[in-house]
């Protein structure tokens, strides 16, 4: 295991169930990296992560990997509702959408890639369970967002990725639509792992899940509308997932 600067946070507890088989990536969404780092180590905040990555690529460890850090909150993925007990959390310093959402610097992305690679190799975390905070909590979260370079991570063996289908015209579904095609879309999203009710109604919750999918896998346009590009990219992802094993 690589050595990282230890800056302990008191905000953690016992893991409750199951193996550690997920890696959840966040952005901090605060004005400064130092302010975010300090907040994650403040007992009053009741939040933490296992690791923190600065813009210059410096990496700090806040919580031991065998402990349950408090980073994901209420969420769901692939049948798991206690995300914190099953995951490692990484906070990436970035002020987020409310702070202008700057690009993630190359040094920071390289550090995130190396850290994720180390964690996934040691803990045998499957590529399909390297996830965005928005994937597991689409109704509440949008981080690390559409500027995060998931393709770069996947090119280095971290995470699951397919080339997104080009955006074009054609049939699409949006909030207010209903019927079997919407039900099929919801079933595909649920099969991949998203927490979504397969109801046949394109409601707000469905729009939020589609937006989360787009932020991760079809980043060129995030609007919560299931256009041909979104649906075909999801299909590509499911085909690739079925051929790559657990």
Question: Among the options 17, 31, 91, 232, which is catalytic?
Answer: 91
65 assigned to active site: no
Strands 12-13 vs 5-6: parallel, antiparallel or unpaired: unpaired
Our CA angle for 159, 124, 7, nearest 5°, is: 85
- C-beta separation of 127 from 246 below 8 A: no
Active site residues: 91
């Amino acid at each position: 295991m690589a050595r990282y600067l230890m800056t302990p946070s008191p905000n953690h507890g016992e893991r409750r169930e199951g193996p550690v088989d997920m890696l959840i990536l966040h952005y901090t969404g605060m004005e400064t990296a130092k302010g975010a780092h300090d907040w994650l180590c403040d007992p009053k905040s009741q939040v933490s992560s296992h690791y923190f990555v600065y813009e210059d690529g410096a990496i700090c460890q806040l919580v031991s990997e065998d402990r349950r850090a408090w980073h994901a909150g209420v969420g769901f993925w692939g049948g798991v509702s206690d995300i914190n007990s099953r995951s490692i959390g990484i906070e990436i310093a970035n002020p987020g959408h409310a702070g202008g959402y700057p690009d993630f610097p190359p040094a920071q992305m390289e550090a995130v890639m190396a850290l994720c690679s180390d964690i996934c190799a040691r803990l045998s975390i499957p590529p399909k369970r390297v996830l965005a905070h928005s994937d597991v909590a689409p109704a509440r979260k949008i981080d690390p967002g559409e500027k995060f370079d998931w393709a770069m991570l996947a090119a280095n063996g971290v995470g699951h990725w397919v080339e997104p289908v080009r955006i074009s015209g054609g049939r699409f579904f949006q909030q207010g639509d209903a019927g079997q095609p919407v039900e099929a879309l919801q079933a595909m999203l649920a099969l991949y792992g998203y927490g979504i009710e397969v109801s046949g109604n394109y409601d707000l919750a469905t729009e939020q899940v589609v937006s989360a999918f787009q932020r991760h896998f079809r980043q060129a346009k995030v609007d919560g509308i299931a256009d041909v590009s979104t649906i075909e990219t999801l299909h590509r992802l499911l085909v690739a997932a079925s051929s790559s094993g657990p």
